[in-house]
Amino acid sequence: MKHILIIGATGQIGSELTMELRKRYGNQNVVAGYILGAEPKGELKESGPSAIVDVTDGAMIESVVREYHIDTIYNLAALLSVVAESKPKLAWKIGIDGLWNVLEVAREQGCAVFTPSSIGSFGSSTPHTKTPQDTIQRPRTMYGVTKVTTELLSDYYFNKYGVDTRAVRFPGIISNVTPPGGGTTDYAVDIYYSAVKGEKFVCPVKEGTLMDMMYMPDALNAAIMLMEADPAKLIHRNAFNIAAMSFGPETIFQAIKKHVLEFEMVYNIDPLKQRIADSWPDSLDDTCARNEWGWKPAYDLESMTVDMLEKLRAKLK
C-alpha cells in the first residue's frame, strides 16, 4: 500500500491530483500538504488527512513524512512562469532549495519523488517543432532555469543515491476545478470561463502562437502512470516529454465557437507572456514516454472542449 504526500496540494494540479490519488489508493493514505494562506477547502479538506508542509522547511517535511509513513512524494510547490519572472529569488527558493529539502528527506526515508518539469524548461535555441526528448535546454526565464535545475538535481539524486525520482514535462494544463497559478498558458483556461460567462475574451498572446496543452485528466494519469511504471523499462527519468495537443489562440477560439455561437475574442498582447510563449516549443515529441511507460492521452481539443464547457456550465450556473 502506498502512503503519499502531495506538497502544494491546493494548487491547480494538486487539488485534483490529491482527489485522484485518494480514489486510487484510499483516502487515509494520501496527505494533502499545504501552506498557510492556501488551506484545503471542501471535499479536499473533508476527504482525507492534511498537514502544513512548507517546502522551504526540511524539518517540517521530515516530520510529516515520518508521522504518516510516507513512501511517495508528489512535490508540486513552485512559482509559475509569469509570477517567477517578478519574484526570481523566491522562485529559486521554493523550486530548488525546496526540492533539495524534499530530496534529502526522500534519501533518508526511502521515498520516491515526482517533481514536474515543464515545456518552460526549453528556450529559443531548442528545436521548436516535435522537440526531441534529449535536446538543447537553455531557457532565459527564471521558471525555465528552475525547471532545468529540477531535472538535473532529480537525476543526480537517482544516480548518486538511488532515490527513485521520476517526472514529466507538463504542457499547459487546462482544467475547471482550481484556477491556474500565473503561467503563460493560463489563457487557454480563462477562454473557457469567458465563453461560459458570455463575456468577450481578451487574448494576451498573438494569433499563431503555438504551445502544447493537455486536459487535466490526462495530466493526472501521466503523473500516476509514470510513478507506477516498471523501473526496469525506464531509460529516462527526469523528465519525460508528454504531449496531447498543440494549438494557437485562434484554434481554441474556433473550437469553442462551434458550441458557443455568439462567442467573441479580441487580442491585447501581454509582452511578457508573448516573449515567454515565443521561446517555448510549438509541439513536443513524446515517443520516449510512449515507449518506456505506455503514455497515451485520451483527450484532444474537441473532446476537451465539450467536457470543459459542460463542467463549467454546471459549476457557474
- Read out DSSP for 238-257? TTEE--SEEE-HHHHHHHHH
* Contact map string, positions 59 to 78, toward ligand NAD, x by CB under 6 A: -----------------xxx
Q: Which residues participate in catalysis according to the annotation?
A: 143
Residue 246 and residue 185: Cα distance in Å, rounded? 11
Using CB under 6 A as the binding rule, whether residue 38 contacts ligand NAD is answered as yes
Q: How far is the CB of 160 from ligand NAD (least distance, A)?
A: 23
Sole window of 165-173, 201-209, 248-256, 288-296 interacting with ligand NAD (rule: CB under 6 A): 165-173
CA atoms within 13 A on the CB side of 232: 0
Residue 224 and residue 217: Cα distance in Å, rounded? 11
Using CB under 6 A as the binding rule, whether residue 14 contacts ligand NAD is answered as yes
Report the residue from 4, 10, 122, 245 that binds ligand NAD according to the rule CB under 6 A: 10
Residue 69 and residue 109: Cα distance in Å, rounded? 9
Q: With respect to ligand NAD, which residue has the nearer C-beta, 40 or 200?
A: 40
Cell matching residue 246: 498543440
Residue 153 and residue 159: Cα distance in Å, rounded? 10
Size of the site for ligand NAD (CB under 6 A): 27
* Contact map string, positions 178 to 197, toward ligand NAD, x by CB under 6 A: --xx-x-x------------
> Across the beta sheet with 4-7, what order do the strands follow?
50-52, 30-34, 4-7, 72-75, 112-114, 165-166
Residue 189 and residue 175: Cα distance in Å, rounded? 7
Other residues' Cβ atoms within 10 Å of the Cβ of residue 86:
12
- Angstrom CA distances, 48 to 85, 98, 200, stand at 35, 24, 39
Q: How far is the CB of 8 from ligand NAD (least distance, A)?
A: 3
Q: How far is the CB of 80 from ligand NAD (least distance, A)?
A: 5
Residue 291 and residue 307: Cα distance in Å, rounded? 28
Residue 289 and residue 132: Cα distance in Å, rounded? 11
Q: Which of residues 80-139 bind ligand NAD (CB under 6 A)?
A: 80, 94, 116, 118
Report the residue from 4, 5, 6, 13 that binds ligand NAD according to the rule CB under 6 A: 13
Residue whose C-beta lies closest to ligand NAD = 11
Using CB under 6 A as the binding rule, whether residue 54 contacts ligand NAD is answered as yes
* Angle in degrees, 0-180, between the axes of helices 142-161 and 98-109, rounded to the nearest 10: 20
Report the residue from 5, 11, 224, 226 that binds ligand NAD according to the rule CB under 6 A: 11
* Contact map string, positions 234 to 263, toward ligand NAD, x by CB under 6 A: ------------------------------
150 in Cβ contact with 115 (< 8 Å): yes
Q: How far is the CB of 10 from ligand NAD (least distance, A)?
A: 4
> Which residues would be at the binding site for ligand NAD (CB under 6 A)?
7-8, 10-14, 35, 38, 53-56, 76-78, 80, 94, 116, 118, 170, 172-173, 180-181, 183, 185
